[in-house]
Amino acid sequence: MASNNFIDHVKLCSRSGAGGAGSAHFRREKHVPKGGPDGGNGGRGGHVILRGNAQLWTLLHLRYQKHAIAGSGKPGEGGRRSGLQGEDIILEVPLGTIAKDTETGELKIEITEDGQEEILTPGGMGGMGNENFKTPTNQAPRYAQPGEPGIEEFVVLELKLLADVGLVGFPNAGKSTLLAAVSAAKPEIADYPFTTLVPNLGVVSYRNYKSFVMADIPGIIEGAAEGKGLGIRFLRHIERNSMLLFMISADSADIKAEFQVLLSELKKYNPELLDKKRILAISKADLLDNELKLEMQQELPPQIPSVFISSITGEGIDKLKDMIWGALNE
């Protein structure tokens, strides 16, 4: 995904259609001078609907759509004819999209399945025709209901990527290199910090034609929760991951300290992230000899499974896949 094509946050005005008015019509025929009320109901106003589409990976197609306006319902007619419903507007969104009210921040909708449809902004109900108000004591009501007005609201659509494994680490920890080594994804890779500016997804093949999805997000630095670096903008993309793969480079000055910083930033953003299963991978292991690995092993956090890997030589990659698959299927 090119950085200028990955859009995970859009704001738009959603306006549903007004309901059509009911009809206050009376049946009039040559031989039926007092045929009574026969006004039909007004049509419902159109809804604004979100529909999940598994073929979409970004909200780019909605970036410049500032308004979503549904059609209004048509008024009822005589002869008990109901008005047509207003045209619904359907917005296709990738799986993992949420809709929030811009003023309150309240979660309105969450789309997680292909083809799932949810009403974002409901259309107004159509008014009832005068036929509905006929009673034994009022056999000729001369009134009908007006249709309900539509609703206009501003909503924010946010995309949270759906993946099995989320990669967490400092810039230049080798996350993108790993994703490129184990999947067909082609993230940008370079030897400077913040090469990755947008999340990347890759499907990782496993034994016997099995697979899992891995998500690489831009690197975290200390103070990310306060907005430093790229801040917390992309951390929401690991909220739905089944597990987290922490990656720390073998040339780090203090692996344990880096791991604690990463945990701290995740906790500040959302403490529930620490409830996910975790694996620690020490990348760039081709820089180490066996003696150094044994020394470093003693310093690694004991409460989390760990493995030394090299995306260049392939060292430890199969073991890492086994650990991930085991954690995902416990």
- DSSP designation for 196: -
* 3-state SS, one letter per residue, for 8-53: CEEEEEEECCCCCCCCCCECCECCECCCCECCCCCCCCCCEEEEEC
* Cβ-based neighbour number of residue 184 at 10 Å: 10
Residue 60 confidence (pLDDT): 86
Q: What is the C-alpha to C-alpha distance for residues 197 and 3, in angstroms, rounded to an integer?
A: 6
3-state secondary structure of 286: helix
Residue 3 confidence (pLDDT): 47
Query: What phi, psi does 139 have (nearest 5°)?
Result: -85, -5
Q: Comparing C-alpha atoms, which of 40, 55, 69 is closest to residue 153?
A: 69
Is residue 43 within 8 Å of 84, Cβ to Cβ? yes
Residues of the chain falling short of pLDDT 50: 1-3, 189-196, 224-225, 229
In the chain, the domains with their CATH numbers are 1-159 (2.70.210.12), 165-328 (3.40.50.300)
Going through 163-276 in order, the beta strands assigned E by DSSP cover 165-169, 200-205, 211-216, 243-249
Residue 193 confidence (pLDDT): 41
Residue 34 confidence (pLDDT): 75
Q: What is the C-alpha to C-alpha distance for residues 78 and 81, in angstroms, rounded to an integer?
A: 6
Angle at 266 between CA 260 and CA 269, to 5 degrees: 140
- DSSP designation for 46: P
Q: What is the C-alpha to C-alpha distance for residues 181 and 167, in angstroms, rounded to an integer?
A: 14
- DSSP designation for 285: G
The tokens describing 67, both together, are 């308004």
Is residue 282 within 8 Å of 306, Cβ to Cβ? yes
DSSP string, 58-69: -SGGGTT--EEE
User: Per DSSP, what are the bridge partners of residue 306?
Assistant: 280
The tokens describing 63, both together, are 């970036």
Q: CA-CA-CA-CA torsion for 225, 229, 233, 237, nearest 10 degrees?
A: -90
Residue 226 confidence (pLDDT): 52
Residue 194 confidence (pLDDT): 42
The tokens describing 194, both together, are 């913040």
Q: What b/e sequence results for 296-327 when a residue is b if at least 16 CB atoms lie within 10 Å of its CB, and e otherwise?
A: beeebeeeebbbbbbbeeebbbeebbebbbeb
Residue 229 confidence (pLDDT): 47
